[in-house]
Structure 1
Amino acid sequence: MVRFLFLIGVLISISGHSQSKIDSLEKRVGLEKVDSLKVNLLLDLFDEYQYEDPAKADTSIHRALDIAKGIQDKRYEVMALNAFADLLNGRAQNDSAITVFQKALTLAERIAYNSGKGIALLGLGNTYLSKGDLIQAEAYHKRNIAFAGQVDDFEGMASSHNNLGNIYNEKGEYKKAMEAYTYAAKMNTEIGNEKNAGINLANIGLINQKLSNYDKALDYYAKSDSLFKKFGFLPGRAFVLKNMGVVYRNQEKPDAALEKYHQALESYKQMDLKREMSQVYQNIGNIYSDKSQSDQAIYNYHRSLSIAVQTSDSINMAMFSQSLGQEFFYAKKWDSAGYYSKRALEMAKVVGADLTVMDGYKTLSEVNYASFNYKDAYDFRILYQTMRDSLYTIEKRDLAEGIEAQYQNEQKTKEIALLASEKELQALQLSKRKNERNGTIAIATFMLLLAVLLYNQYRIKQKANKELQELDQLKSNFFANISHEFRTPLTLIKGPIEHLEQNPEEKLGREDVKMIRRNTNKVLGLVNQLLDLSRIDQDKLQLKSTEGDVFKCLRTASASFNSLAAQRNMDYRVKVPNGMLWAAFDRDKLEKVVYNLLSNAFKFSEDGELVVLETSYANTELVIQVWDSGRGISKDKLPFIFDRFFQVDSSITKDREGSGIGLSLSKDLVELMDGTITVSSEEGKGTYFTVQIPIERIKTPQASVEVSIREEANEIPKPETFEWPKADSRDLPEILLIEDNDDMRQFIKKQLLNTYRVIEAKNGEQGLKMAMAYLPELLITDLMMPKMDGIELCKKLKTNLETSHVPVIMLTARAGVENKIEGLETGADDYLTKPFEAKELVVRVKNLIDQRQRLREHYRNNAYTVHPEKITTTSLDRKFLEQVLDLLEKEHANANFGVPQMQRSLAMSKTQLQRKTKALTNESPGELLRNFRLKRAAQLLSQKADTVTQIAYQVGFNNLSYFAKCFKALYGVSPSSY
């Protein structure tokens, strides 16, 4: 169905009609004696009446047709026929319109009337499109494009390209539609028809909206709106504003959507377009419904319904009544909900709106259930389910028929190919002799065996090479990752020690000592894992069994994760049987297995999810199960997770740190204890590890240590009460620090806090949002971070006009030259490798901030001319500043040119322009414009180019006293003294 494709076309035709003009035309028609002029007047009168008074429009066009038939110049008859056909098309009398357009086309071709032929071809294409015959519509528009190209009718070509875009859009060929709309916009722009170009751009916006490319859609809507605004084209503006509201709602920006809907509503009120007004009220009600503000939603749905009733719009009456019924249900007003849903149901059945009928059944079922009327609730639910199944069955049946037809065609093709091959084989067998066949078979067999042997050797060699390359790559990745694992904790150990060395009179704080201990234990744990792997490879790792309580060991190992679970608000459950399991086992190795499995579960689970450790013992077998509700592991990676150095997430944006040896070590340790470890997983649902270890229970000694209930309890400590940090209100430069390691982030913050205000982000995605919101003086970011790495973050910052000027220091544990080059190529201003000197970081931060300040001072102190390349650090900033200075050079003499005009010329909002000019020049847009004019005045005064008064006027000042005041404030002397 052609829905929104003609909406813009309809809007073009809507315009105000002057009663005085109609009266004038009627008077002139009555006085006119020349038939050809009278036809023209009647066609003009028809245009005025077409949307004002349909009956009088019919009279005018029929009078024009009757008079035109008697005129020798048949061009007038073609004009009248085209106008009459257009009227029929507008009234949805498509077949009649096609007949009249064909008659006009035949007559125009016979008398070689190019203009009339083009209009007829365009009209036929539009009419077939209205009718839904896309094949004929496309054929006529392509025919019109070819003809318009021959007679240089560029406007006709543009119109047909726009309509081709509508056709391709309806067919779902969005790429072709986009190309057609773009071509139409380009052509309309070239011929100066900017209003139609705006319509083309709005159509492109609709395509992007349909494809969920919301940012592009908003961009095209803004461009089309600027053109509509230029020509005061209110219908086009209203249409664009309404669709911008739809986009903002899809982007979950309800306040922005409401603003656009209200602007569109005011425009439709001015044009008195009732149907559009009712739809906008419906859209506004949807926003308030999304925000759970039922009173406001109900108010707007009532407004939309009352207008639909006024205009006798049955479909919308049913739809809006259903919206009211649903909203009253949300507001728990069951009587009103039932009343409006029943009304919607009755009207929808009459007009055949099946989806609204289905929704009505559903709402009535819910209302009756909430009102404890279970029988009616059940009946309506059955009706809803039946209708829903019916609608979807039709779709499934059509799909099945299509698949069956395709299958039958493929089978027939295969049968034909099989018959042909059998005939060829028979012919070949008959043409060969028996001895030749035997000889050929013998030679072929020998050659085949030889080829198989050679190919098998080649495959073995290739497979070995591939495995060696993969192993080499895994080792390279392992050493890169393990170096990263070492460098971060070493930085945090090295930093406080160097500070203590440089300041012997100071003492390390308690938190610094705890941080050093944490990171020392982390390095020690990594070293121990590497040593264990080495011993396993050399068969030197042996079990050291001692008697003890296995269950107590498991409780103790699992309890070490309690604080982490509380910190991340996770549902951490430990299910270990009460009592004792006294046996001989290797405590250290069992703890390492449990620790690695739990660590892996926490690593690949989001905050607030579930992690479970469950233990059981039966038939001399200890079973340990660890599972989580995290992200899971894909089927293609699951077979490799116990391989040495393999990592499920090997990207630079790993959510959690890791070296790829934990699970491999766990498997080796379990097998050393004659046990087995298995895993099952499903993406998005979690991972399930099962460890089975043979353990022989021994009799508990009488002198065993008593188990304290309090000691055995495995309660998760409650998280400490969160307190909002106090805002830093010091007048100091602001630095954004992005680092996923908490210790590293606090260490760096501590080095900078005395000199700067520091705001923090835990990952690249959060850091990008904060950079856009705060526009800091400088940004420090880690390279390897979750969700968005430092490389991508830097690219986004340096290619965005709002943030391109912010200096970036990149920190990384990757020490290779290629890593450093990659970081600098993305636009990073500086690069530091972990472990680094804290003092070096502070100095580099100071140098970059001072450099930016010197660039601003250079601009402020420059007397007359400014070179953008000397006060910018990126090509994007340079281009922006060149654009600003060119604009000021061009417009500074215009007294009416101010900041609003500057915003429009640069296509920037007030906030964007304020932030950017302040960052680059330390001046607001108003100060920038005023000081530019004053500097130009000083230049002219120094050259004695004219009088003070004339120079003031030349640089855009109308008020001489204000000019003198500003001049003296900048230069310290009056203009005449200067």
Structure 2
Amino acid sequence: MESLPLYKPIDALLEKLLKYRNLPETSSVVAKYFIIELGLAFLITTFFFIVAWALSAEIMMRYILTLSLVFLTWPCFFFVKKLEHVILFSKLYALTVIAFYVLKMGGILSSGGIIFLGVQTVLHTLIFKKFRWMFYVFGTFMVFLSMLFYFNPILPTDNLLSPKENLLFTFLNLAGITTYLLVCAMYAFKLFTGLEKKEAERQKELNDAKTRLYSNITHEFRTPLTVILGLADSMQANGYSKDSKIDTIIRNGKNLLQLVDQMLDLSRLESGNLTVNKIHGNIIPFLRYIFQLQEYYAQEKNLKMTFHAESQSYELDFDPEKTTTIVSNLLGNAIKFTPSGGEISMSVKALNGYISIIIKDNGIGIPEHHQDKIFERFYQTDDNNTRKAGGAGIGLALTKELITLLNGSIQLKSYPGIETTFTVNLPITAHLKNRTIPTIIKAPAEQQQLPDFHEKQKEKKHLLLVEDNQDVVEYLISCYQSMFKIDVANNGKKGLELAHKKIPDIIISDIMMPEMDGFELCKRLKEDYRTSHIPVILLTAKADIPSRIEGLEKGAEAYVVKPFNQQELLVRMQKLLELRTKLYQRYSTGSINGAEADLWFQKEDQFFDKLTDLIKENMQDEFFGVSTLCREMAMSKSQLYRKFKALTNKSVARYIKTLRMQKARQLLQTTNMNITEIAYEVGMKSLSTFSQLFKDEFGESPTGFIGHNQQKSPVS
């Protein structure tokens, strides 16, 4: 339709004219179509009238004038509410006029082809998309057509067109109707294509909004769960481990967390936002690892768990995250519905291009009349056993949809009270041989002793918390206040201001916050050379992979999902702070080896190079010091001090003196300048001060250094 030059301006004009009507999208499309149809019909009938007038064909002129009364309906499109009724009336009126004049001109064959307009009128009712109304127009046309054939022998012949006129008008009607149909059909196609596109965009917006809603709900659930599970873990670690109530809190908290994650995954599946991230590798060790994780829960019920694989190596492409969810859900259900002392087995085999994962149990089973519905969302079998076991009817629905996403299938066979078998079939492909399976890193043991952070820190490091939930803030403070000096900001904007002002040693930030989210905060911190060196940990309820990737791409050093383990977070902070030794080693000497270029150091190198160049350029100025340097670097004294201290573990003033003395030593070694000249060259007017500083830096006076250096020189 873009090939029609007038399409865009006409469509834009009609959009503007109809905008104030606030019509539904479909009604607006129908209105625009029939306005264009009437406009085109007006041009064609005007041409026909001119031809009829030139040939003095009075009967054809009367026909055209009578038919033209339908154009009076044009204003109705801008004022009448029920447009479809106006359109239906105009179609029936046109058919009545056509039938009358065909009769008056002696029948179909002698009426100049105006019957073609009747056919066109019927075809154009397709735009209604209402069968009942199309039937009215088509039925009326068939009634008139039957009348024409019935009355044809007795029709009058006094108003007949001459043979030449009849042939000419038949040709013109046929050509006009063909052009009319072509243009209108193209316009209708464009209108409905645009309507479908808008509907697709609207559906995408709705799906995205739904995903955001679920994501926000997940965040709102995960945040209080962080506090609940964190405090329960602390109580358990402080001597309440024998209290079954604490175990109940932790167990149900984790169940709720799993339910929230499943709801989010279902939402992302429905909206098409859940992507497949496959790797290539041996799936057997991976499945065995998932199986072993579930064994812990089976031991609590005294269940016998067995794992068997026909081969120890099945190389294929698979999605680790979704495979974990699928297998964990099926094993979790088996454990939940198998009574104490029962048996659960998991076997793996390859068959007909598929890897089959078969999970069996001898639990309560699933009645036959429920088996067809068990994979439906929120469906639960209604009996005492399932009610006792709990569940929301989400796990199996999510499992099936994930398997479908991976182009696989799942089958169920169950004999209640005897055996239940779930068989998952996933295709064996090898398109990603270069993307290997990541090493599985086990989480720190929960009962392991916390590292003694105090032994490694002579003074408390400065921690900045950026979190809008006060409960989480209080919990974090209670966990780490003995190890860190802590400042708090309740949104990203205040967090950025506080980071610039205080230059903390490490930052922990939430993602979903008012005014500025954690992603933007991390990005700005890493772009600013004043704060680019500060390690950032994103501590958030957004557990999906895209959010994790985005956080790391913004420069975060770690991404921890709520609810978190207190010990794990502490270890992460400790390891990030230990990386400071790399900074000390790199910058403490005052020289950077360009061959060791590393993206991780790039921002710090730029800062350090700029600072060092400024000192070297002003070396001869005895008044050049920290104040001048701060002004040139556009930083406050405290900002520069903390930033430089973090990079070198030295003060800025000490670094300026070190560079002066290094320059002096270089001049003593490479030039014939005397000590006084060299002292002036490095901005030292007092020889005694220069000598003392040189001795403090290198362990000997300038005079002693010259003598020592001359003894090493070869005798010529």
TM-score (norm 1): 0.32
Higher helix share: 1
Determine which structure has greater relative contact order: mean sequence separation of CA pairs < 8 Å that are 6+ residues apart, divided by chain length: 2
Please tell me whether Structure 1 or Structure 2 has the larger radius of gyration of its CA atoms: 2
